[in-house]
Structure 1
Amino acid sequence: MDLRIFTEPQQGADHEDLLAVAQAAERLGFDAFFRSDHFLTMGGDGLPGPSDAWITLAALARETSTIRLGTLMTSATFRLPGPLAIAVAQVDRMSGGRVELGLGAGWFAEEHTAYGIPFPETKERFDRLEEQLAILTGLWGTPEGETFSHAGEHYTLIHSPALPKPAQRPGPPVLIGGHGKRRTPALAARYAAEINVPFGSLEANRVMFERTERACEEIGRDPGELVRSSALVLCVGSDEAEIARRAAAIGREVGELRENGLAGTPEEVVEKLRAYAELGSTRAYLQVLDLADLDQLELVAAEVAPHVRG
C-alpha cells in the first residue's frame, strides 16, 4: 500500500505546522501530503484559525520537491469551477506535476453559515459537484488553441480559452470519496482516478469498492483503472503507554480508536492495513491529528511502512 499523510488544519494549525509535517513526510518517504478543505473547527477553539487549502498547497509546492500534494476533499460549494480549475492547474505547475484534487459535494453546514457560503440541499450540491467535475476535466483536457464551453443548470462557460494547462496532462488525478449508494460511485466511475472511503469499516470499504466497480462496468470502464483507497485516523505507539498518550492528545479513547481507526502497536497497524489491502485498497490516508508529534511519523516510517509497501 501507498501511505499518505492526511491533516485537518481547521482543528488548529498555522503554516509552519503544516510545512513541518509535509517536509517530514517527504523526508520519511511517505507517498503524499494531503489536507482537508474546511473553514471551521469541529471541536476546540481552532486557533489560530482556518487556512485556505489551495493557498497552503501552493506554498508547499515551492517548499517540497518530491511528495505529492492534494485535498481530501475540496468542497464544490466553496469555489466556482472555472477559478478552481485555474488554481489547481497553477499549483500543479508550481509543484512540477505533483497535485491531486479531491472534490466533494460538501457537508458541514455550520462552516457555510459561519463564512457566508451558500449551502443548498443535498441534491443540488451533488448536481453542482457533477457539473464541476465535467467543467474541470473539460477545461484541463481541451487542447491548447481550442476553447471549452459548457451549458448546465448551474454553470455556463462560453468559449473559455481553458488556460492555464496543468503540468499533468490531461490533468491532475481527481479523487471522489464518501459512502453514497448511487451518485458517489457513479461520479467516481465517470470522472475519478481514485475512489476513497473515509473512516469506514472493512465492510464499508468492501461495499463502496463493489458499488464503484459496478458503476464502472455500467459505463464500459475497466474497474482496474480506478485506485481504491481508505482514510483512517492514526494513533500508533511502541507500547500501551505511548498509545494512550497519543490517544489522549487527540481527545480519543484507545479502545474506540482500535475499533474504528489505525491504533495500536506497529504490528497491530500492519495487520489492519493488510486487511484493508485484501479488500482491494492500495492506498491509505493516515489522518494525523496531533501535528506537533512528528515522532509518530518516524515510528510509522520505520516499523509500519516497510511491511505494507510493495
Structure 2
Amino acid sequence: MDLRIFTEPQQGATYDTLLTVAKATEDLGFDAFYRSDHYVSMGGGDGLPGPTDAWITLAGLARETSRIRLGTLMTAGTFRLPGVLAIQVAQVDQMSGGRVELGLGTGWYEKEHTAYGIPFPKEKFGRLEEQLAIVTGLWATPVGGTFDFDGTYYQLKDSPALPKPVQTKIPVLIGGHGAKRTPALAARYADEFNIPFASVEDSRRQFGRVREAAETEGRKKDELVYSNALVACVGRNDAEVARRAAAIGREVDELKANGLAGSPAEVIDKIGQYAATGSTRFYLQILDLGDLDHLELISAEVQSQLT
C-alpha cells in the first residue's frame, strides 16, 4: 500500500515551504510528493505569497530529493502546449534521475485563466485526448526519428521528439468521475487511474468502469494502478483531530465521512474499505503545510501498519 503526500500550494505556500514538506515526505518513508497545478486560491483565503508553478517546483525538488517520486494531480492541459509539456516533464525526469510521473487533466477553473490571461477553451476534453497522444507519442519516438501529428487542435511536423526522459515509460495518471469518456481515455493512455474525493461506493463503481474500458482496449483490467485522493486529518485523540480540522476550516464529521480522518485506527479501517475496491495507492491531501507533526503521526501510526 503506497501512501503519497499531496499538496495544494495555491492556498498559500512558498517554494521553501514545499521543499520542507517534500524533505519530510522523503525522510518519513512516504512514496511520493505530489502537488496540484493551480494559480489562484480556491479556499477563500488570500493565497499569499502567491502561486508557484507546478513544474518549476518539481524541477527544484528533483535536485533536492533523492528517493521519492514527484508528480502532479493534475497538470492542467489548458496551461501548457503539449509539445512544451513533453519537454518540461522529460527534463525534470532527467533532473530527478527518473522519478517523475505526469498526472494530466483538462483544466477546469475558469477564474485562474482569466486572472492570468490563459485561454479557457470551450472544448477541453478533445484537447486533452490530443495532448495525451502527443506527449506520449513524443516520448515513444525513437532517437533519430521524428514525430508528426495532425489533429483538430494541435499540429506537429518533423518534431525531433527530444529530449527523452530517463525512464523508459513515464507513468501517466488520468482521473475523474466521468462515466464514459474518462474511463475510455484512461484505458488508452493511463498507467494509473485516480479518483479524487470520492466515496468507497463511487470509487468501486468508477474503477469498474475503467476495468471494463481497459478490457475493451485489449489491456488486462488490473494492468492499471487504481488510486484515491482524499483529505487527511489524523490525530492521536479527538481533541487533536478537532484542532487539525479547525486549522483547515473543516468539520470533523464531514472529514470522517468524506476523507481519511480520525484516529490512526479509524483511518487504517477506512483505507481498508477503499482497498477492498482495488485501490492500492492513496494521495493524502495535506492542507496545513506547517504541521509536520501531522506527517510524522501518519508515518508512525498509519503507514507503519500498512507495509
> What TM-score does the superposition give when structure 2 sets the normalisation length?
0.99
Any unmatched runs of 5+ in structure 1?
none
Checking the alignment, whether the CA contact within 8 Å between 1:263 and 1:269 is kept in structure 2 is yes
Question: Which one is further off, 136-145 or 215-224?
Answer: 215-224
What CA deviation, in whole Å up to 9, does each residue of 1:46-93 have, x standing for no partner?
Answer: 000001000000000000000000000001000000000000000000
What CA deviation, in whole Å up to 9, does each residue of 1:118-150 have, x standing for no partner?
Answer: 1122xx200000000000000000000000000
Instruction: Give the CA deviation at 1:207.
Output: 1.0
Counterpart in 2 of 1:264? 262
Q: Secondary structure at the match of 1:139?
A: helix
Counterpart in 1 of 2:46? 45
Distance 1:60 1:135 in 2: 26
Counterpart in 2 of 1:2? 2
Any unmatched runs of 5+ in structure 2?
none
Counterpart in 2 of 1:34? 34
Distance 1:308 1:279 in 2: 16
Counterpart in 1 of 2:151? 152
Aligned identity (percent) is: 69
Counterpart in 2 of 1:93? 94
What CA deviation, in whole Å up to 9, does each residue of 1:101-128 have, x standing for no partner?
Answer: 000011111111111111122xx20000
Checking the alignment, whether the CA contact within 8 Å between 1:37 and 1:74 is kept in structure 2 is yes
Q: In structure 2, which of residues 177, 180, 193 is the aligned counterpart of residue 179 of structure 1?
A: 177
Q: In structure 1, which of residues 194, 197, 204 is the aligned counterpart of residue 195 of structure 2?
A: 197
Instruction: Give the CA deviation at 1:204.
Output: 1.1
> What TM-score does the superposition give when structure 1 sets the normalisation length?
0.98
Distance 1:214 1:194 in 2: 15
Checking the alignment, whether the CA contact within 8 Å between 1:274 and 1:308 is kept in structure 2 is no
Large movers: runs of 4+ above 4 Å: none
Counterpart in 1 of 2:69? 68
Counterpart in 1 of 2:141? 142
Distance 2:86 2:171 in 1: 13
Checking the alignment, whether the CA contact within 8 Å between 1:237 and 1:264 is kept in structure 2 is yes
1:293 maps onto 2:291 in alignment: yes
Q: How many residues align?
A: 306
Checking the alignment, whether the CA contact within 8 Å between 1:273 and 1:308 is kept in structure 2 is no
- The amino acid that maps onto 1:158 is K
Q: CA RMSD in A?
A: 0.6
Q: Secondary structure at the match of 1:223?
A: coil
Distance 2:159 2:202 in 1: 40
Q: Secondary structure at the match of 2:124?
A: helix
